[in-house]
Structures are given as structure tokens and as C-alpha cells.
Amino acid sequence: MRTLIKGGTVVTAGDTVQGDVLIDGETVATIGRELDVAVDRVIDASDRYVMPGGIDAHTHMDMPFGGTFSADDFESGTAAAAWGGTTTIVDFAIQDFGESLQAGFERWMAKAAGKAQVDYGFHVIVRQVNDQTLADMDALVGQGVTSFKLFMAYPGVFMLDDASIFRAMQRTSDNGGLIMMHAENGGAIDVLVRRYLQEGRTDPINHALTRPATMEGEATHRAIALARLAGVAVYIVHLSSRDALSAVVEARDRGAAAFAETCPQYLFLSQDDLARPDFEGAKYVCSPPLRPRDHQQDLWNGLVRDDLQIVSTDHCPFDYKDQKVLGRGDFSRIPNGLPGVEDRYSVLFDGGVNAGRIGLNRFVELVATAPARMFGLYPQKGTIAPGSDADVVVFDPTVERTLSASTHHMRVDYNCFEGMRVRGKPEVVMQRGEVVVEGDRFYGRPGQGKFLKRGPFPG
């Protein structure tokens, strides 16, 4: 099967060129001007951008949390991703207490098998560090699972002490893995949470008030200091505040290999949303929490200056009606997480490119190229170039629409960007040469997505 995407503006992280893209089988064959070749199919991309399929390096499909599961599984969540222009996700497999990392990885492989409709890889969440875990990390790197997420928050559930974190970091300095860190000071936060609940402060807004940005800043600083001591890179996930960003900037200015992502919710939503009346604030509970609005400009500055390298979603949806309500009367029981995998590409295009905050090439870098490089998928993924997988979005920058739960494809009963007007829409989405979405039609099928073995860091 040969497809010609004709007459578009081809945008990569490095270039913007007018031309045609020839796809042969699953990969891009060539890019050129007015290619005159025999093909099975022509897609007219006049007045469209032709951009790499998005890579969302932070999703949680079918994830257990507080007695329930995130509402999207690998089938519905990857379909929503494709609708939104994202053709690769990297999700998180979780080690249970007392089991090997391998067992956790295999459990998540089973969740995705036969269901995923876009390509996927896994990071592994490490809950216990011991000699066996460290050996498991080495083995997983060899199997294409090259990143490990550790937590400085959620005592008793996920949180590791500094010694364990440091041991894991020393190991990745030897085995080519990358440590991803959830950086919040879980000990202090837990004390605050208990005090607030005792005082009867139970509404969703207290989720933010008990997890102040200073505690994200502190943990980010500590994570980077430990990584520097271990002589290894560290990647801060879902960075939400200027306090944490300052720690990253300061370290990078001194030459540290410190990297970080932020998420659309921290760029476009704020602590005000958590204060919505009648428990509606529960829709906006995620960790780290949404911050006061004045943090947003600092995050945009971070994206412009490359102190923040990636925009991921931390997609972890819970239905408002029967899941978020578990925390009515106790904000600490509200399942943590927001839906976002479908909207990232368009929201960042509109709020970034249309709003004049970032250029087109930087947009592509943030949503596709940088995550591919950071997580060992480049140049198979993350760009449009001869030999790369033909994961392509034909994007119409003129279509205006309103984001809404009534039209989205995520399997969750609300949209945290409800009512937001955006200009620009993924019109055709291709994965490895096959059309998955075209206009209002979906051609994906469960099992079409392949597991991706990722390379070591740095890729």
C-alpha cells in the first residue's frame, strides 16, 4: 500500500517545507516537491499542516486507584488518543508490593494486548527498591522498558525514601535507564491532609491547599540533587509550579541533566477550578494540584526556553458521577487524575501556536519529537523522515470547535476543558501507513497498536 499526502506544509521539529509525503507500507519513503509516483491512494493536504503523530509519554489506562480503575482502558483510551492526533502512548505498569518489576510489566502487557489501537510502550513504577528490583531494572532495559517512575509522594502507597531513590538512580547511571520522578514532599503533605480533615476542611479546594507548590519545589530540588550525586539524568513528571520550575532552571544553568514535562491542565486550568461550588471542583483533582493562575506564565516561559522539554497529559480519567464522588466529604478520597489524551494536541496548538506563544516547529517538538528522543523512540517515531514510521497527522488549522464531553471520545463523563474554543483539528490521522481517523470516521481496530521496545537513555 502506497499513499501520497499531497500539497501540504510538512512540519517537523526542525523544518517547515511545502511538499508531498510518500508513504510505502508502514514507513515514510520520501518527502519532495510534486512527486510524480504511482500510488494506491492520494490524500489532499492543501492548506493543511502535515505533522508527526503525537506521542503522549504519560498516560494511565485501566489504572487501579483507591479501590477503582481509571475509566479508559487501552481500547477506549487509545481510540481517543488517535481521534486527537496522538499515535503513540507510553503508559505506566505498576509493581505490586512483594513482586518483581517483571510481573508488573507483564500484567500491563496483558491489559494492552488485543486492545490498544495505537502503538504503546511502558514505563515501570517502582514501589520497592531492593537487590532483586535493581536486577529487574537491568533486565527490563534490555526488553525495551527503559524508564522507571519513582514517587516522593503518597506515603504507604508509592513513596520511596531517599536511600531507595538514590540506589535506583545509581543503577540507571549504569544500565541506560531513565528515572522519572513524581516530586512532591509526601510526608509533609500527609500531615497537612490529616490536619485539614480533622478540622472539617473537606472540600476539593483543600486538595490544593494541602499540597503547596513549595513542597513540589523542595522535592524537585532534592530529586535533582540526588541525581547529580548519582551522576545521572532525572526527568520530573507533571511539573506544575514555578517553585519546581525554578529548581529545574537553577540545576540546568549549572549543567545538570535535569529534564521535565508539564501538562495542558497546568497551562490552561488553575486552582480556581478546584474551588468550583457543589463538589464540581472534584473534576479537577489531580496531583500535583492545579496552581494559582499566575504560575501559568512561568510554565510557558519554561516551554519557550526549553527548561521544560515535553507536554504530556498524565491522562487518568475518573467519572464524575460514580468515581470522583467517592471523595465527597473527604477530599483525600477523590480519585486523582484528569482526562486529556484526546485534547493535548489541539489545546497546545491553539493555546500555543495560535496564541503566538510558541512556533509550529516547537509545537511539534513538544508533542512528538522531544518525547521520542527522551524515551528511546527516535527516529522511528516523533518525526516525518524517510524510514520513520508513517505516523502522520493532516491538520486543518482553520476548523473552529468547542471541546466538550458531549463530543469527545474519551470514556469519561466530563471534559476538564468543557466549553473551550479551539481552532485547528486533526483531520486525517495515520499510524504506520494506515488511516485510523479521517474526518468523522474511525478506522482503527483493537489490537492494531504494537508494543514498542524503546532504546536506552540518552536515545
∠ at Cα 235 (318, 128), nearest 5°? 70
Measured from the CB atom, is 274 or 384 closer to Zn ion? 274
Peptide bond into 446 cis (omega under 30): no
Measured from the CB atom, is 287 or 383 closer to Zn ion? 287
Measured from the CB atom, is 158 or 395 closer to Zn ion? 158
Measured from the CB atom, is 314 or 342 closer to Zn ion? 314
Q: What are 453's three cell numbers?
A: 521496545
CB of 236 to Zn ion, least distance (A): 12
Site stretch for Zn ion (CB under 5 A), options 309-317, 359-367, 386-394, 447-455:
309-317
Site stretch for Zn ion (CB under 5 A), options 83-91, 274-282, 313-321, 390-398:
313-321
Choosing from 75, 314, 342, 434, the residue that interacts with Zn ion (CB under 5 A) is 314
Measured from the CB atom, is 22 or 334 closer to Zn ion? 334
**Exposed, middle or buried by CB within 10 Å (0-12, 13-18, 19+), for 39?**
middle
DSSP per-residue codes, 274-329: HT-TTTGGGGG--SSPP--GGGHHHHHHHHHTTSS-EE---B----TTTTGGGGTT
Question: What is the C-alpha separation between 381 and 175, in angstroms, rounded?
Answer: 23
Q: What are 89's three cell numbers?
A: 502512548
Question: What is the C-alpha separation between 259 and 292, in angstroms, rounded?
Answer: 23
Cβ contacts of 212 within 8 Å, gap of 6 or more: none
CB of 315 to Zn ion, least distance (A): 8
Asked if residues 305 and 239 have their Cβ atoms less than 8 Å apart, the reply is no
Measured from the CB atom, is 3 or 265 closer to Zn ion? 265
Q: How far is CA 43 from the centre of its chain?
A: 29
Site stretch for Zn ion (CB under 5 A), options 9-17, 208-216, 307-315, 360-368:
307-315
Site stretch for Zn ion (CB under 5 A), options 10-18, 253-261, 308-316, 426-434:
308-316
Look at residues 225, 118, 126, 109 and name the one whose alpha carbon lies nearest to residue 178. Answer: 126
Measured from the CB atom, is 6 or 58 closer to Zn ion? 58
Site stretch for Zn ion (CB under 5 A), options 183-191, 256-264, 314-322, 351-359:
314-322
Q: Give the type of residue at 247.
A: A
184 contributes a contact to Zn ion by CB under 5 A? no
Residues that bind Zn ion (CB under 5 A): 314
